[in-house]
A and B are shown apart, each in its own frame.
Chain A
Amino acid sequence: MLVDLAGGWNPMLGRLAWSQIPYDNPILAPLFVAVVIGAVLVLGLITYYGKWTYLWKEWLTTVDHKKLGVMYILIGLVMLFRGFIDGLMIRTQQAWAVGPHSSGVFGATHGYLTPFHFGQVYSAHGVIMILLAATPLLVGFMNIIVPIQIGARDMAYPYLNALGLWFTAAAGALIMISLFVGDFAHNGWFGYAPIFELQYSPGVGVDYWIWTMELLALGTTLGGINILATIIKMRAPGMTWGRLPIFVWASLASNVIALTSFPALQVALALVAADRYLGAHFFTAGLGGNLMLYTNLFWIWGHPEVYFVILPAFGMMSEIFPTFSEKPLFGYMTMVLASMAIAGVSWLVWLHHFFTMGAGPYVNSAFSVATMLVGIPTGVKVFNWAFTMYRGRLTFNAAMLWAIGALFLLLVGGLTGMMLAVPAINYMVHNSVFVVAHFHSMLLTIVYAIFASVIYWFPKVFGFKLNEFWAKTMFWLFSAGTALVFVPMYMLGFMGMTRRLDYVFNTAWHPYLLVMEFGIVVYTLSVLAFFALLYVSVRDHASNQVGADAWGTSRSLEWLTHSPVPFYNFAVLPHVNARDEVAWRRDNGIDHVQPDHYEDIHMPNNTGVAIVLGGLTFVLGFALVWRIWWLCAFSLLAIIALVIYRSFKGDPGYIITAAELEQMEKAAMRREARIGKQQHRVGSGVLGEAIAYARSDLPSLASQPGSTGGLDHRS
């Protein structure tokens, strides 16, 4: 042992002891019972219906990018719910524990949460919402949509894709188990030096935080590499850079950020781990340590990270507005340049998270100007969306409503962001709930774009539409909740209320806090509306079925293939003729041309290695948290052995023959015909130059490096 541990340690169980299980906590103990009963119920139902083989073969071992994306989104939604419950708890505590006369229960002097427990709740809320809700939801959508939009059969590295998912799942499991075994960090989601050092946080909470974040960083980096390689190398013939859908461009920009910034987080956390495990002094208050260096390193990742999550949301909005405006996107080139500009500037602004460090007027001015620069490309995007809708044939369905909601919240969040970019204002409202309200406006922009995308792309993935009534009900409830929670929060920020208060000393703030509590109740109703949406949509799925082009006004390539998308995506890889290929085919009357013959397809095999590696990383994380060194060594060696084994074994893949393919395609086309929205007009009105599918007697354009250059302005 290089460091002194409070509470003892033994070689067998490390720091683990019965006293670490919070069975005496009046909130956690009943929750634990409920979770156990729920888990037994779910596992029992799976066994009763005999679905284990199906689950293992179709989902747990899959390398299909669509199924992995769906599982990413499921993890994201579950964690979004958990993060929401944390938010509900924070709001309730702050509405309750106001003034010296407020009552207290469950061992708390005021309210129902002790300060230590409250610290864990807001730390978990932040980590979960940003890294385990927003990130998996967005990565899930990129996983599903990017390969179909560029006309690829799968990601560049299907096995790596599965690995990224299971690392994310392992991290989610690690943060969830911290509820019932030990405790979680109380240092906020981004951590403060030196409070996370061992002498100030002797428990295991900070260790849970470190290894959860490290696992998520690893999973997201792997995912980023995969999406970048897919976009660069796997585009269909004719899909030049100038024809890429904007969502793909946004994913590219976003994953360039992920690939370059996540290592900074990994280094920062590894140094914290060195302090806590090896007794180093990188971020301690004395002995040569530097507190602010941690903040600096963290935000070198942290600010690019927030653009990593906002850029895919921008891409989603850029897909949804044109579809429901029945117009091509306004200003395609400026949209591409704006995405890349945001990605570039993301590296130059991180000091604005700690203007108050006191680096002086020159440094603060430089970073202030750099931060304001972000407003230019973002403004370009907002105007482009506005001009896309201008004089379009607008359809105000649920997806469009969510996208417009995102646009308005972006304005609120963006303009308050401009205010915060001014160091003079920033000194006034630093660490106030004004800042909290600002970044919640930005994060909610992402949530709005995500729900818009759930509704927009759901029919593509599952073959039927979600219920419009419940989707709109959820939208209005969610928007009412947003207004009721965050308008008072902006006001309280100006009144000087600081963030993370477990006890609110100023009773004059009580009315505002009660309005916010009412807002979170409205949010809860919107969550119930979401469950109703899922239930009603699945119940009525037979009457809501759709064909390939679910919305009838779709524009990009993913709407060319069948809904639900077959596991091989495209029976014959399409030849891309224009930006907005599906709209172009519809205008030129070749949208229903089917390939005249099929060829064998080479597909990757499923593998159980990825989920086993995910399980082993969870064991490694758990062992590191509790310092069970033999288990660390065992799981680490198992991981290394398994990676080497898989690398030498490789995957030869398997072949779908042309005959099998034809059968599956015929079944899919029969489905389309039964739905009746599509009529086959094979070969009618084909223009002279139009190419629907790549011909096997010509060299594939995608394999020629030259075809990737040059921007095409035909749209």
Chain B
Amino acid sequence: MSHGHDDPTLHPEVQMSTSRGYFSGFAISSILMFVATFLVASHAVPPFGLLMVIAVCAGIAIIAQIYFLLHIDVSEHNIWNTVALVLFMPLFLITIGLTWWMFSQLYLRTMIMPGMMH
């Protein structure tokens, strides 16, 4: 019961978080989202290039959110965040990787080419 009386603001994960971190995370993801929306709405890039640009934006946004908002890193005093990262990485690779694999096989057999679906 000793932790019941602790001041929650003294926990290392609370100590590490700053409003500047949260605002940078929010700002970076908002900017990336607006860039992606603008590119889609304005048809400025050909379809295949658009997919690539959006994917890169999404990737950067994920990293920014994981780092700034979720404070997931590999530092030693945040061991549970590292555990979460270790759990997350394989799941991320499995879901994205296997989906990519099964749909590329599907497209191969149904002759749908990504970027030509208009």
Cβ contact within 8 Å between B106 and A357: yes
* B41: Cβ under 8 A from any A Cβ: no
- Encode B78-96 as 1/0 by CB contact (under 8 A) with A: 0010000001100100110
Inter-chain contacts of B5 with A (CB < 8 A): 602
CA gap between A293 and B112 in the complex, in Å:
14
Q: Which of A357, A359, A360, A653 contacts B4 (CB 8 A)?
A: A653
Inter-chain contacts of A700 with B (CB < 8 A): 1-2
Given contacts A260-B91, A296-B99, A703-B3, contact A288 B117 (CB under 8 A): yes
Give chain B nearest CB distance to A227 CB in angstroms: 15
Q: Which of B4, B87, B106 contacts A358 (CB 8 A)?
A: B106
Interface residues of B, Cβ cutoff 8 Å to A:
1-5, 80, 87-88, 91, 94-95, 98-99, 101-103, 105-106, 108-110, 117-118
Cβ contact within 8 Å between A602 and B1: yes
Cβ contact within 8 Å between B105 and A360: yes
Cβ contact within 8 Å between A264 and B101: no
Cβ contact within 8 Å between A347 and B117: no
* A113: Cβ under 8 A from any B Cβ: no
Q: Which 9 A-B residue pairings sit nearest by Cβ, starting from the closest?
A: A359-B102, A360-B105, A359-B105, A602-B4, A359-B106, A363-B102, A288-B117, A363-B105, A703-B2
| 5 A/B residue pairs, CB under 8 Å, sorted by A | A232-B80, A256-B87, A358-B106, A359-B109, A602-B4
Inter-chain contacts of A601 with B (CB < 8 A): 1
- Encode A346-363 as 1/0 by CB contact (under 8 A) with B: 011001000001111011
Inter-chain contacts of B106 with A (CB < 8 A): 292, 357-360
Give chain A nearest CB distance to B110 CB in angstroms: 7
* A300: Cβ under 8 A from any B Cβ: yes
Name the residue among A153, A256, A288 with the largest chain B CB count within 10 angstroms.
Answer: A288
Inter-chain contacts of B109 with A (CB < 8 A): 358-360
Inter-chain contacts of B118 with A (CB < 8 A): 287-288
* A573: Cβ under 8 A from any B Cβ: yes
Inter-chain contacts of B91 with A (CB < 8 A): 260, 347
CA gap between A288 and B54 in the complex, in Å:
15
Inter-chain contacts of A233 with B (CB < 8 A): 3
Q: Which of A288, A348, A602, A653 contacts B94 (CB 8 A)?
A: A348
Inter-chain contacts of A358 with B (CB < 8 A): 106, 109-110
CA gap between A347 and B90 in the complex, in Å:
10
**Which of A579-624 touch B at CB < 8 Å?**
601-602
CA gap between A573 and B3 in the complex, in Å:
14
CA gap between A287 and B94 in the complex, in Å:
28
Inter-chain contacts of A359 with B (CB < 8 A): 102-103, 105-106, 109
Q: Which residue of A lies closest to B117 (CB)?
A: A288
Inter-chain contacts of A153 with B (CB < 8 A): 1
Cβ contact within 8 Å between A363 and B95: no
Name the residue among B3, B87, B102 with the largest chain A CB count within 10 angstroms.
Answer: B102
Q: Which residue of A lies closest to B6 (CB)?
A: A703
Can you name 19 extra interface pairs (CB under 8 A) apart from A300-B99, A602-B5? A153-B1, A256-B87, A260-B91, A288-B117, A292-B106, A293-B103, A296-B103, A347-B91, A348-B94, A351-B98, A358-B106, A359-B102, A360-B106, A362-B105, A363-B102, A602-B1, A700-B1, A700-B2, A703-B2
CA gap between A571 and B115 in the complex, in Å:
66
CA gap between A53 and B88 in the complex, in Å:
46
CA gap between A304 and B109 in the complex, in Å:
28
Cβ contact within 8 Å between B110 and A360: no
Cβ contact within 8 Å between B94 and A347: yes
Q: Which residue of B lies closest to A286 (CB)?
A: B117
Inter-chain contacts of B117 with A (CB < 8 A): 287-288, 290
Inter-chain contacts of A296 with B (CB < 8 A): 99, 102-103
Q: Which residue of B lies closest to A600 (CB)?
A: B1
CA gap between A288 and B103 in the complex, in Å:
14
Give chain A nearest CB distance to B111 CB in angstroms: 12
Inter-chain contacts of A362 with B (CB < 8 A): 105
Cβ contact within 8 Å between A300 and B110: no
Inter-chain contacts of A573 with B (CB < 8 A): 1
Give chain A nearest CB distance to B11 CB in angstroms: 12
Give chain B nearest CB distance to A654 CB in angstroms: 12
Q: Which residue of B lies closest to A357 (CB)?
A: B106
Inter-chain contacts of A288 with B (CB < 8 A): 117-118
Give chain B nearest CB distance to A18 CB in angstroms: 40
Q: Which residue of B lies closest to A347 (CB)?
A: B94
Inter-chain contacts of B4 with A (CB < 8 A): 602, 653
Cβ contact within 8 Å between A264 and B1: no
Q: Which of B2, B94, B101, B110 contacts A363 (CB 8 A)?
A: B101
CA gap between A357 and B87 in the complex, in Å:
29
**Which of A399-428 touch B at CB < 8 Å?**
none
Give chain B nearest CB distance to A153 CB in angstroms: 7
CA gap between A293 and B103 in the complex, in Å:
9
CA gap between A555 and B27 in the complex, in Å:
54
Give chain B nearest CB distance to A151 CB in angstroms: 11
Q: Which residue of A lies closest to B112 (CB)?
A: A290
CA gap between A700 and B4 in the complex, in Å:
13
Inter-chain contacts of A602 with B (CB < 8 A): 1, 4-5
CA gap between A656 and B20 in the complex, in Å:
41
**Which of A642-670 touch B at CB < 8 Å?**
653
Cβ contact within 8 Å between B95 and A300: yes
Q: Which residue of B lies closest to A604 (CB)?
A: B4
Q: Which residue of B lies closest to A370 (CB)?
A: B98
Inter-chain contacts of B94 with A (CB < 8 A): 347-348
Inter-chain contacts of A293 with B (CB < 8 A): 103
CA gap between A233 and B4 in the complex, in Å:
11
- Encode A31-46 as 1/0 by CB contact (under 8 A) with B: 0000000000000000
CA gap between A653 and B5 in the complex, in Å:
10
CA gap between A232 and B1 in the complex, in Å:
14
Given contacts A287-B118, A288-B117, A363-B102, contact A264 B87 (CB under 8 A): no
CA gap between A293 and B4 in the complex, in Å:
46
Inter-chain contacts of A653 with B (CB < 8 A): 4
Inter-chain contacts of A292 with B (CB < 8 A): 103, 106
Give chain B nearest CB distance to A504 CB in angstroms: 33
Inter-chain contacts of A351 with B (CB < 8 A): 98, 102
CA gap between A233 and B118 in the complex, in Å:
53
Given contacts A347-B94, A363-B101, contact A260 B1 (CB under 8 A): no
CA gap between A360 and B94 in the complex, in Å:
19
CA gap between A360 and B102 in the complex, in Å:
8
CA gap between A357 and B101 in the complex, in Å:
13
Give chain A nearest CB distance to B32 CB in angstroms: 17
CA gap between A700 and B103 in the complex, in Å:
53
CA gap between A351 and B97 in the complex, in Å:
13
CA gap between A602 and B1 in the complex, in Å:
8
Give chain A nearest CB distance to B83 CB in angstroms: 9
